[in-house]
Chain A
Amino acid sequence: MPLPPLPESAIVLRAEAADWRTAVREAGAALTASGASLPGYSDEMIRMIEEHGPYVVIAPGLALAHARPGPDVVADGLSVITLATPVNFGHPHNDPVRVVLGLAMKSADVHLASIAAIANIFNDSEAIDALAKARTADEVLDIMGVAE
C-alpha cells in the first residue's frame, strides 16, 4: 500500500521550533513547499490540536499533524520534520516530540490505505529514533521506505 507522496522538498531536518505550534507550522510549510497544501492548512492542523488536545502525539516522540480533507489540500502528501530541540505538546505520555509528520489528504476514502503504510513504518519501534537522528533526506526516505 502506497505512502502519500514524500518528496525531498517535504523533508526538513533539525528544524528550530520553540513550541508545538511552530513545529506544526514547519510541517505545514513543508507540505506547501512540496505542493500538497496551501499555507492555510497549517492553521487547520493547529486548530485540530487546539480543539481536541495533543492526541496527535500518537507515540513517544512522534506527532502526526493533520486536518480534515478540505480546500487547503491541493494533493495527497506527507512531510517529515525533525526538531533540533524536542518540544512538548502537552501529551501525558508521549512528550517530548522529536519528529513531526504532516499529512494532507484530498479525500477520506483513499486515506486508510496510506495510513496503513504509515502504520507499517512505525510499528517498528526503532523508526522514530532513527528518523530523529537522520542527517540527510536520503536517510529519511530510506527509513520511510520510499524508493528513490
Chain B
Amino acid sequence: MKIVAICGAGIGTSGILKVNTERALHKLGLEADVVAADVASVAEVARDAQIILTSAEFVGAIGKTFSDVIVIENYFDTQELTLKLEAALG
C-alpha cells in the first residue's frame, strides 16, 4: 500500500504528515510506503497511491485521482490521523 502526503514545497509540512502517518499506521498494525511530495508532482507520485493525505488548500489542486483524499486539520493530532486512516482503510 502506498500513501502520499502532499504540501506546497514537498518538505516541511508533508514531512510532518509522513512521520505522524507512519506512527498512526504502526498503532493500527498496518504497513505502508508513505511518501512526502509537493503538490506539483502529485499526479505522478500518487498514481499508484491508495490514499493522499493533505490539507484543505490542496484538494482542488490534486485534481482527478483514484486515491482516497483525506484532509488533515491538525498535523500533530495522531488521533485524528489514526481515526481518518482507519475509516479509509477499514
Contact = CB atoms under 8 A, between A and B. Distances in A.
A53 B13 CA distance: 13
Contacts, number: 83
Interface string A18-37: 00000000000000000000
A87 B20 CA distance: 26
8 contacts: A56-B12, A64-B16, A94-B74, A105-B12, A115-B15, A115-B16, A116-B15, A119-B19
A112 B15 contact: yes
B77 A108 contact: no
B36 A112 contact: yes
Interface residues of B, number: 27
A55 B11 contact: no
Given A55-B7, A59-B75, A112 B58 contact: no
A20 to B, nearest CB: 14
Contacts of B10: 68, 108
Top 7 nearest A-B pairs (CB, nearest first) are A53-B57, A115-B15, A52-B8, A58-B75, A66-B12, A55-B55, A122-B76
A105 B9 CA distance: 12
Indicate the size class of the contact surface on chain A.
20 to 34
B39 interface: yes
Interface of B: 7-13, 15-16, 18-20, 23, 36, 39, 54-58, 61, 73-78
B8 A59 contact: no
B74 A111 contact: no
A52 B58 contact: yes
Interface string A92-109: 111000000001010010
A37 B54 CA distance: 27
B19 to A, nearest CB: 4
Contacts of B11: 66, 68-69, 105, 108, 111, 115
A67 B9 contact: yes
